[in-house]
Amino acid sequence: MNFRRIATPGILILAVVAAAFGWIRFVAHPKPVACGYCSRPLHANSIVTAEIDGKRTQVCCLRCAITEANQLRKPLRVITVHDYSTGAAILSPETAWYVEGSRVMPCEHGVMHMDEAKKPQTMVFDRCSPGTMAFATRQQAEDFTETNGGATISFGQLMSEAHYQ
Protein backbone atom coordinates (compact mmCIF):
# COMPACT_ATOMS: atom_id res chain seq x y z
CA MET A 1 0.00 0.00 0.00
CA ASN A 2 2.83 2.45 0.81
CA PHE A 3 4.46 1.58 -2.52
CA ARG A 4 1.33 2.73 -4.39
CA ARG A 5 1.26 6.03 -2.51
CA ILE A 6 4.86 6.75 -3.53
CA ALA A 7 4.88 5.22 -7.04
CA THR A 8 1.68 6.81 -8.37
CA PRO A 9 2.75 10.46 -7.89
CA GLY A 10 6.25 9.58 -9.14
CA ILE A 11 4.87 8.07 -12.34
CA LEU A 12 2.57 11.07 -12.86
CA ILE A 13 5.50 13.48 -12.41
CA LEU A 14 7.57 11.48 -14.92
CA ALA A 15 4.69 11.54 -17.42
CA VAL A 16 4.31 15.34 -17.07
CA VAL A 17 8.08 15.86 -17.50
CA ALA A 18 8.15 13.58 -20.57
CA ALA A 19 5.17 15.40 -22.11
CA ALA A 20 6.80 18.79 -21.45
CA PHE A 21 10.07 17.61 -22.99
CA GLY A 22 8.25 16.25 -26.04
CA TRP A 23 6.34 19.49 -26.52
CA ILE A 24 9.49 21.61 -26.24
CA ARG A 25 11.49 19.34 -28.56
CA PHE A 26 8.95 18.66 -31.30
CA VAL A 27 6.44 21.55 -31.17
CA ALA A 28 8.15 24.62 -29.78
CA HIS A 29 11.57 23.97 -31.36
CA PRO A 30 11.19 21.51 -34.25
CA LYS A 31 14.17 20.60 -36.39
CA PRO A 32 14.40 22.68 -39.57
CA VAL A 33 13.23 20.85 -42.64
CA ALA A 34 16.16 20.05 -44.90
CA CYS A 35 16.64 19.71 -48.63
CA GLY A 36 16.11 16.20 -49.93
CA TYR A 37 19.35 16.35 -51.95
CA CYS A 38 21.93 18.52 -50.18
CA SER A 39 20.52 18.62 -46.62
CA ARG A 40 20.67 22.42 -46.42
CA PRO A 41 17.76 24.12 -44.65
CA LEU A 42 14.69 24.86 -46.74
CA HIS A 43 13.76 28.55 -47.06
CA ALA A 44 10.07 29.28 -47.65
CA ASN A 45 10.85 31.62 -50.55
CA SER A 46 12.87 29.15 -52.59
CA ILE A 47 11.34 25.71 -51.94
CA VAL A 48 10.90 23.53 -55.00
CA THR A 49 9.00 20.27 -55.26
CA ALA A 50 10.80 18.12 -57.79
CA GLU A 51 10.59 14.58 -59.08
CA ILE A 52 13.63 12.67 -60.30
CA ASP A 53 13.22 9.11 -61.52
CA GLY A 54 9.71 8.96 -60.01
CA LYS A 55 10.81 10.07 -56.52
CA ARG A 56 9.20 13.33 -55.39
CA THR A 57 10.89 15.49 -52.75
CA GLN A 58 11.18 19.07 -51.53
CA VAL A 59 14.47 20.74 -52.30
CA CYS A 60 16.15 24.01 -51.37
CA CYS A 61 16.21 25.48 -54.89
CA LEU A 62 15.71 24.63 -58.54
CA ARG A 63 19.47 24.67 -59.19
CA CYS A 64 19.94 21.87 -56.63
CA ALA A 65 17.29 19.77 -58.40
CA ILE A 66 18.91 20.36 -61.81
CA THR A 67 22.33 19.40 -60.44
CA GLU A 68 20.94 16.25 -58.82
CA ALA A 69 19.17 15.17 -62.02
CA ASN A 70 22.34 15.73 -64.06
CA GLN A 71 24.48 13.81 -61.56
CA LEU A 72 22.04 10.89 -61.50
CA ARG A 73 21.56 11.09 -65.28
CA LYS A 74 17.80 10.93 -64.76
CA PRO A 75 14.97 13.14 -66.05
CA LEU A 76 13.76 15.99 -63.86
CA ARG A 77 10.14 17.01 -63.45
CA VAL A 78 9.44 20.23 -61.55
CA ILE A 79 6.10 20.10 -59.74
CA THR A 80 5.99 23.47 -57.91
CA VAL A 81 8.27 26.41 -57.16
CA HIS A 82 7.83 29.22 -54.64
CA ASP A 83 7.81 32.89 -55.51
CA TYR A 84 10.98 34.36 -54.02
CA SER A 85 9.40 37.73 -53.22
CA THR A 86 6.32 36.38 -51.38
CA GLY A 87 7.00 32.73 -50.53
CA ALA A 88 3.70 31.72 -52.15
CA ALA A 89 3.63 28.49 -54.12
CA ILE A 90 3.51 28.79 -57.91
CA LEU A 91 1.80 25.62 -59.00
CA SER A 92 2.87 25.89 -62.61
CA PRO A 93 6.65 26.34 -62.87
CA GLU A 94 6.29 26.89 -66.63
CA THR A 95 4.56 30.23 -66.02
CA ALA A 96 7.16 31.54 -63.56
CA TRP A 97 10.21 33.63 -64.43
CA TYR A 98 13.61 32.91 -62.96
CA VAL A 99 16.64 34.93 -61.94
CA GLU A 100 19.93 33.15 -62.24
CA GLY A 101 23.37 34.28 -61.09
CA SER A 102 22.43 37.22 -58.85
CA ARG A 103 24.37 38.32 -55.78
CA VAL A 104 21.67 36.71 -53.62
CA MET A 105 22.33 33.07 -52.71
CA PRO A 106 19.51 31.66 -50.55
CA CYS A 107 21.20 28.25 -50.31
CA GLU A 108 24.53 29.60 -49.13
CA HIS A 109 26.00 27.81 -46.18
CA GLY A 110 28.29 29.34 -43.58
CA VAL A 111 30.66 26.43 -43.18
CA MET A 112 34.21 27.20 -44.21
CA HIS A 113 36.24 24.21 -45.32
CA MET A 114 39.87 24.04 -44.22
CA ASP A 115 42.78 21.90 -45.33
CA GLU A 116 45.12 19.96 -43.02
CA ALA A 117 47.14 23.14 -42.31
CA LYS A 118 43.96 24.95 -41.18
CA LYS A 119 44.00 27.24 -44.21
CA PRO A 120 40.66 28.05 -45.89
CA GLN A 121 39.97 26.17 -49.09
CA THR A 122 38.48 27.89 -52.10
CA MET A 123 35.13 26.45 -53.10
CA VAL A 124 35.23 25.18 -56.67
CA PHE A 125 31.80 23.53 -56.82
CA ASP A 126 28.52 24.26 -55.10
CA ARG A 127 25.54 22.26 -56.28
CA CYS A 128 23.22 25.24 -55.65
CA SER A 129 25.30 27.74 -57.60
CA PRO A 130 24.50 29.88 -59.48
CA GLY A 131 21.59 30.83 -57.25
CA THR A 132 18.25 30.48 -59.02
CA MET A 133 15.07 32.11 -57.72
CA ALA A 134 11.53 31.93 -59.11
CA PHE A 135 9.16 34.90 -59.50
CA ALA A 136 5.47 34.96 -60.37
CA THR A 137 5.90 37.62 -63.08
CA ARG A 138 8.61 38.73 -65.45
CA GLN A 139 8.41 42.26 -64.04
CA GLN A 140 9.18 41.04 -60.52
CA ALA A 141 12.18 39.10 -61.83
CA GLU A 142 13.49 42.09 -63.78
CA ASP A 143 13.04 44.39 -60.78
CA PHE A 144 15.05 41.92 -58.71
CA THR A 145 17.88 41.80 -61.27
CA GLU A 146 18.11 45.61 -61.32
CA THR A 147 18.91 45.57 -57.61
CA ASN A 148 20.80 42.28 -57.25
CA GLY A 149 22.24 41.49 -60.66
CA GLY A 150 21.76 38.24 -62.53
CA ALA A 151 19.76 37.36 -65.61
CA THR A 152 16.01 36.91 -66.06
CA ILE A 153 15.26 33.65 -67.89
CA SER A 154 12.23 31.53 -68.73
CA PHE A 155 11.50 28.02 -67.51
CA GLY A 156 12.47 26.59 -70.90
CA GLN A 157 15.85 28.32 -70.83
CA LEU A 158 16.50 27.09 -67.30
CA MET A 159 15.45 23.51 -68.01
CA SER A 160 17.75 23.37 -71.04
CA GLU A 161 20.49 23.00 -68.40
CA ALA A 162 18.91 19.73 -67.22
CA HIS A 163 20.62 17.36 -69.65
CA TYR A 164 18.33 14.35 -69.19
CA GLN A 165 14.80 15.40 -70.11
Residue numbers of the chain with a pLDDT score lower than 50: none
pLDDT score, position 19: 73
Residues 6+ apart with CB under 8 A from 135: 83, 84, 85, 96, 97, 98, 99, 141, 144
Cβ atoms 143, 85 nearer than 8 A: no
pLDDT score, position 97: 96
pLDDT score, position 136: 94
Write the pLDDT tens digit of every residue in 121-159.
766 667 778 889 999 999 999 999 999 999 999 999 999
